[in-house]
Every structure is written in C-alpha cells, then in structure tokens.
Structure 1
C-alpha cells in the first residue's frame, strides 16, 4: 500500500549544537536497534520511507517538526548511528558533494554484505534513477541538494532525498521504497513531503505520461535534427528548416542552443531503448525532458501529466479531509511504533522521557 503525506518544511539554516547532535546519534541508533529486532530491517526501511513516521522520528530526536533541517539532521544522525554489523543496514550519500559519493557507498555496502556485481549495479542504477526522476522528470521547482540511499543486508533499499525552491525558501522531501512500486516511471513514490502544492508541475513519472515517454524516445531515435523547427530562435536567425515548415505548425516559445542540440544528437547515436535509458544519458536534464514532453503534446497530441505529485499538507488540507484525507490508521501506527521503540530503547530514563515529551508536543 502506498503511503503518501505532506509536511511543512520551511528552510532553516545552521547546525544543531554538538551536545544535541551527539544525543540524536545515540537515540536514533537505539530506536533503530529496537525496530530492527522487533520488526526487521525491511520494516525499518518501510518506516523511513513513510513521511508520517519520518517526521515524528525527527521530532523525537529533538529537531523542529516543521523544519527542512529535519531531513539533513536526522539522516546525518542515522549515518553516524547505523552499524552494518549490528543493524544490517548501510546508509550512503548525504548533502551536497556527499550525495555524489552515493555509488561508491553502495559498492562498499555490496562488499560488506556480499552482493553480486549485478545486484550492486542494480542499486547504483536505482540511486541514479531516483535522483534523476525527482530532479528532472518531476519539474516542481525544487532542485535536489541531498540524496540518501539505505540498503539492507538482504538487498532491500530506500531513498530519502530533498530539494530546495530558491524563491520561496521551502524544501520538498521525496521518499522511495524498493518494493513500493512496479516501475520507476509510474507513480513510484511512497511519499512526497512539502507544504506548497503547485497548480501545474510537469510530472513525467506519472502513469498518465507513458505515451509522452514513448514519443520522447522516438523523437530522439528518429534523429533530433528535425526538432529545431518546433522552436523559436532567440536571435531571430533564419534556419533552413524555416523555409520548409508547413503553414500550420505549433512552435514552442523557447529555444535549445546548438550545444544542447549536440546532447540530443549524442543521445540519438546511442539509440536508447526506453525512457529510463534516455533520462540517464549524460546531459539529458530538465530543459530537454520538458522540450520533448511539449512536442509530444503539441505535435502528436499525447500530453504529459501536469499534476503536482504532492497530495496534501497538514496545514493546507489533510486534517479537514481536503483535498486528501489523512490516513489516521497509518499515522497512529507510525506514532505508536516510535513511542514503543523509545520506551524499549537502551538509553537513560531522562532521555526517554524527553523523547516521549517531544513526540507528545508534535502530536499536539
């Protein structure tokens, strides 16, 4: 069952004090140990990929419930506390430059857990795809700045990553679970958390975009040189194709530079077999994905989805049932699991009481 939720994530800067972060590391490790022993490693990943649980977990550790920093700090604490031998879980990636080291981290996990090369390659590909989808295929005005990949000794994985909207200073968190979807490009998320819902956002990972995906691949494999006729030139320079265009022809009010067309030409030479292969090619970013989607709609009558994948928020919906009701059973189960884990965790009594108090404050 897909678990989807939204929380308010205004951007908060700075770092938690050392004394607090040290306690966050200890508490996150203690809670993880209880959950893994009681429910198993896979269930821990299911909970991490559940926005309700993740938000309450962050609150218990001691961070502001509504801050974007819950993602960075909570995952930072987990990266310190997770022990591949004790928990059977490895966390790679991180914020900024650390996110680019995720493939190396996955390979390291593969060595520790004894995965076959094919399994390691599969997970590295999953890491790249989840990042590319949330940064380029879903064009919701949030740019990824951190990527975190969890993997268990049995080969299950989860992704938690976050993007920033530079204009409104809000963050959006994306959750993935390896067994939570059938295809990477067909409504794959277990949750996307953000307070802001866009009126329109290109979503090439929506099942409604399947035909647009196929046409995008066909447009590339049929030589992208003919795509120039669908764009206006910023410098009003006339092209040879301008003289051969039909009288009635849709034209996009934008342009792709010669350098960008070279990227499309390089993709044509490779001849990608499907949309996953296409979007993973070097240089295929948001602008080119958007251009191909627009041509699919304007020329071939196959529109992509423009529905923002965020479903609802605590402050702008949810609690009053609009536009999507809160799943109370899932929410309550998440809270109860954390509370039980805190109570059973091997930490000092006063730390337990403080953690439970923070959870109660979050609920109220």
Structure 2
C-alpha cells in the first residue's frame, strides 16, 4: 500500500556540499543503527512512514518543509549505504530526474550480485510510479522516484511530483509488504490540505471502470473508433475530469493496436504496458463509460489519516503520544549512532526543537 502522502512547498536550489557531506554521514549512521537493532526491513517500514521520513530530514539538517527535503534525504541515504549494501542487506536505486529513469538498471545490477531475479522488483518500481502518475491524476507530475529494497525482496518507494501552477510538491510513500493490489485502494493514508475532483482509477468504486478499460484494450481498434467518432455529438457531464478534447483518435488508434496485440488480462496488466499513460487512461475511461456505462471515480484519495495533528487543532489536536514515540525512536537511533559527538549534539538539538511545546 501507499502508506502516506505529504504536500510541501516547491523550492529550487540544492544542498551545499559541506552540508550534504554531513547528511550522508549522519544518514549512514542512523540506517546502520536501525539495521543493527531491528534489521533492514525496519528501515523500509520507517522510510515508508511520511512523518518519520520528514523527521529524519529535519534531523539531517535540511530545510524542514520544502520539496527539497525529499530529494536530498533520499540522496543522502543512497550515498550513505553505498559500499555497505552486502553488509546491511539494504539497497537503494533511483533518485531525481534522470536518476529516476535509471532505477530498473540499478535494481538489475544489484540483483545480479544477489543472484536473484529482478523482475518482481522492477515491476513494483514501475507500477508504483504508474499509479501515482497516471492511475491517480491529481495534477502532480512525478520527477523523483527512489526505490529501496532488501536482499529478501522486500521494498519501499519514496517518490515526489510537482505542480508548477500551485508551486507545491506531493510526496508519495509505498511499503511493498502491505501491497495487496496496486490498482484497488492502494492508499492506506493520504493527506493534503486541499482536496479536489480528480480521475481516480484505483478507487474501489472504479472497479467497473477498470474492468471496462481492460476490455477495451482487448477490443479491435476499429470497433472502438466507431464510438470515438461519435464523441463530438455528446454532451459530457460536468463532474467528469475528462473531455472529448482529451482524445486524439490517431494516438488512441496506435495504443489500441498495441494493447490488442498484447491483450492485457486486467487493468493492472494494462497499466504496465509501455506507452499507456495519463492521456491514454483518461481517453479509455471516458470511452468505457460511453460503451459500458461504467464511470470512473472522481474522489480525491487525500484524507487526514496519517498526520499527528496540528497545534491549532487542524485537522485535530496534536497526538502527543504518537508524536513523542516518533521522536523517541529518532533519539534512540541518534543516541547510539557512531557519529562525531559534535554532530550528534547538533542533530539532537534540531530534534528537540522539533518537539511540540510542553511535550
């Protein structure tokens, strides 16, 4: 499941070299300690917790609330475990921009050393990215994808999208051990200050739409084309996030020829087909409604279910017990970590400053 969601201001720039070097050292110490105490699977569980991840970024000393805390923290962890993968049983792949596109190759290279098949891990990486970029169309374009996994095949994903118009970024967290389905309610907790109408093809109420879309992908394109040709005469419902302008018959023909030849068994298989992205799914969702009467959900999955609350009571009063438990975990990790005493004191001061008043 996607275990959490965070929305952050979109900031440019990068961490200065002197800071990033220290972030790498401290990240390495924290990860090594967690592995030593609890094993590498626990590192995945904690990275998949959006609040723990945010707290770790603060402890490392980066800007506490900007989009950069995602890319920089993931980068520091990846650099920190480099050379220690065999010892830790923990591997990191991907990153920001071009680095994200190298994720499959990095997974495969690690699996060669582990003498295990990379297919399931590569597929998990691709499907997690496809869901957050195409199956849930919330206005954010993915530009960062980090994939962490262990030698036993467990994994987690931390990825981030941007919305230039609003100047915000959204971070998405996944934990592989909790995934039951990539395409049916994969969001254990999604949090956002603003909810709107989105195309949500992984909502439970989109089950009929997913089945219809998969059926369309197995249908000869000429049959679908006859329906597409009638679209200009239709009046679409205002609640629907797609319109006839979203459908390019020439592009749709090309995709349908490809999917008909490969005949995906279901929506999840269709999602994994190269070239099937947001525009294709919007078009197929609309056509599926027209042909089969199966509308896709427009429910935004964002909800306040992972947060520790806020000092002003929004969305609810601070959950101090959970908040303090999170901080205690970090205090314990940092207190035992093998780092310079000066760096440890600075990190603990930052963590103390992060605690709620009167906590």
- Interval of TM-score (by shorter of Structure 1 and Structure 2): 0.7 to 0.9
What are the Cα deviations for residues 284-338 of structure 1, in whole angstroms up to 9, with x where unaligned? 11011012222333443322222222223999x7666666787655443322111
CA shift, 1:5, in A, is 5.1
Q: Partners in 2 of 1:38 and 1:19 — Cα distance? A: 29
What are the Cα deviations for residues 241-269 of structure 1, in whole angstroms up to 9, with x where unaligned? 55xx9x98869532324133211222112
**Residue aligning to 2:100:** 99
Matched, 1:207 2:183: no
Matched, 1:16 2:15: yes
Q: Which structure 1 segments of 5+ residues have no match?
A: 232-240
Q: Partners in 1 of 2:156 and 2:214 — Cα distance? A: 28
CA shift, 1:84, in A, is 0.3
Q: Relative to structure 2, which stretch is displaced further, 154-163 or 180-189?
A: 180-189
Q: Partners in 2 of 1:215 and 1:335 — Cα distance? A: 47
CA shift, 1:213, in A, is 0.6
- Among 152, 163, 166, the alignment partner of 1:165 is 163
Matched, 1:335 2:332: no
Instruction: Compute the TM-score of the two structures, normalised by the length of structure 1.
Output: 0.87
What are the Cα deviations for residues 75-119 of structure 1, in whole angstroms up to 9, with x where unaligned? 11011101202321010111111111111111122122232x2xx
- List aligned pairs for 1:133-282, cutoff 5 A: 133-189=131-187, 191-192=189-190, 195-231=192-228, 252-254=243-245, 255-282=247-274
Q: Secondary structure at the match of 1:91?
A: strand
Q: Partners in 2 of 1:181 and 1:321 — Cα distance? A: 32
Q: Secondary structure at the match of 1:198?
A: coil
**Residue aligning to 2:33:** 34
CA shift, 1:73, in A, is 0.4
Matched, 1:78 2:77: yes
Distance 1:137 1:158, change over 3 A: same
Instruction: Compute the TM-score of the two structures, normalised by the length of structure 2.
Output: 0.88
Q: Secondary structure at the match of 1:85?
A: helix
Q: Secondary structure at the match of 1:306?
A: coil
Q: Partners in 1 of 2:280 and 2:46 — Cα distance? A: 35
Distance 1:34 1:248, change over 3 A: closer
CA RMSD of aligned residues (A): 2.7
Q: Partners in 1 of 2:292 and 2:322 — Cα distance? A: 42
Confirm or deny: 8 A CA contact 1:95 1:147 kept in the other structure: yes
Distance 1:323 1:361, change over 3 A: closer
Q: Secondary structure at the match of 2:172?
A: strand
Q: Secondary structure at the match of 1:304?
A: coil
Q: Partners in 2 of 1:267 and 1:330 — Cα distance? A: 47
**Residue aligning to 1:111:** 112
Q: Secondary structure at the match of 2:91?
A: strand
Distance 1:126 1:261, change over 3 A: same
Distance 1:222 1:319, change over 3 A: farther
- Among 294, 304, 311, the alignment partner of 1:302 is 294
Distance 1:324 1:226, change over 3 A: farther
What are the Cα deviations for residues 26-82 of structure 1, in whole angstroms up to 9, with x where unaligned? 000001111111111111100000001000000000011211000110011011101
Distance 1:109 1:303, change over 3 A: same
Distance 1:248 1:149, change over 3 A: closer
**Residue aligning to 1:347:** 339
